[in-house]
Structure 1
Amino acid sequence: MIEYPAKDDAPRSHLPFSPATKVGDLIFVSGQASVDGTGKIISDSFEGEMRRSIENLRKVLESCGSDLAHVVQTRNYVRDATDNAEYNRIYMDIFKAPFPARTTITNCLSPALR
């Protein structure tokens, strides 16, 4: 059975995708950004935006009956490679060893998102 769980406090997007899709015990989460509950982008420091994005991920996982401790893989997009050290520091603060499998791509976001 395919489910599309979502609680009222989970972040929403105006784009055509579900925040998460659950199939059996697996949860597939769409990309999370520094947005409020309505999908409006909230600009902040790098740390503020990353922590807001992770908080949105936490809310989506919670709406599926899970949490950050059960994340097995992440895909990350970092606007500027100069933020990698801070990104790794925050990532290690949120996820604990053994860390989830991870792919991180830098300098790839549209100039409109800068």
Structure 2
Amino acid sequence: MRERIQTEKAPAAIGPYSQAIKTKDLIFVSGQIPLNPETGEIPEAFSDQVDLVINNLRRILEAAGSSLDLVVKTTVFLKDMNRFQEFNDIYARYFGETMPARAAVEVSRLPKDVEVEIEAIAQVK
């Protein structure tokens, strides 16, 4: 079983990929950038970008019947690793005590020149 997840509550894919794919046990959410799904705008402040990315992830997970609480792994792409602690402070507010496994890497450039992108794998409820 492989189901494509699509919601208008998160940004549409800006390339040839799905927002997420749901299998029997897991949901694989494509990398999300801080793109406002209603306006297409990108916030300037780093903290606002991180909040929007995580909220976009949350909306896709909810459309798939899951939640941030069921995320088991994330991969974080940062334009500037000097913002790692600031990122961690924001990220920690969303995932509670049992943090998902995670990788975080600095990259030279992200789509639309944003500061952060996150992809996630979550359990199905």
TM-score if structure 2 supplies the norm length?
0.82
Matches of 1:60 and 1:30 in 2, distance apart?
Answer: 10
**Unaligned segments of structure 2, at least 5 residues:** 115-125
Q: Does 1:46 find its partner at 2:50?
A: no
Q: Which has the higher contact order (CA 8 A, sep 6+)?
A: 2
Q: Segments of 4+ in structure 1 off by > 4 A?
A: none
Q: Aligned in 2, Cα 1:109/1:40: closer, same or farther, shift over 3 Å?
A: farther
- Indicate conservation of the 8 Å contact 2:6/2:63, yes or no: yes
Q: How many residues align?
A: 113
Alignment partner of 1:81 is 2:74 = no
Q: C-alpha separation between the residues in 1 aligned to 2:64 and 2:81?
A: 32
- CA 1:38/1:13 → structure 2, altered by over 3 Å: closer, same or farther? farther
SS of the residue corresponding to residue 85 of structure 2 reads helix
Contact 2:10/2:36 (<8 A) preserved? no
Please state if 1:109 is matched with 2:104.
Answer: no
Q: Distance in 1 between matches of 2:24 and 2:34?
A: 29
Quick one: distance in 2 between partners of 1:39 and 1:103?
Answer: 30
| CA offsets 1:74-94 (integer angstroms, 9 cap, x no match) | 000111111111111011111
Q: What is the alpha-carbon root mean square deviation over aligned residues?
A: 1.9
Instruction: Please give the secondary structure, in 2, of the residue aligned with 1:72.
Output: strand
SS of 1:49's equivalent in the other structure is helix
- Displacement after TM superposition at 1:41 (Å): 5.1
In structure 1, what residue type is equivalent to 2:35? V
Task: Give a deviation string over 1:43-89, Cα, whole Å, max 9, x none.
Answer: 32110000000000001001100010000000001111111111110
Alpha-carbon distance between aligned partners in 2 of 1:24 and 1:39, rounded to the nearest angstrom: 33
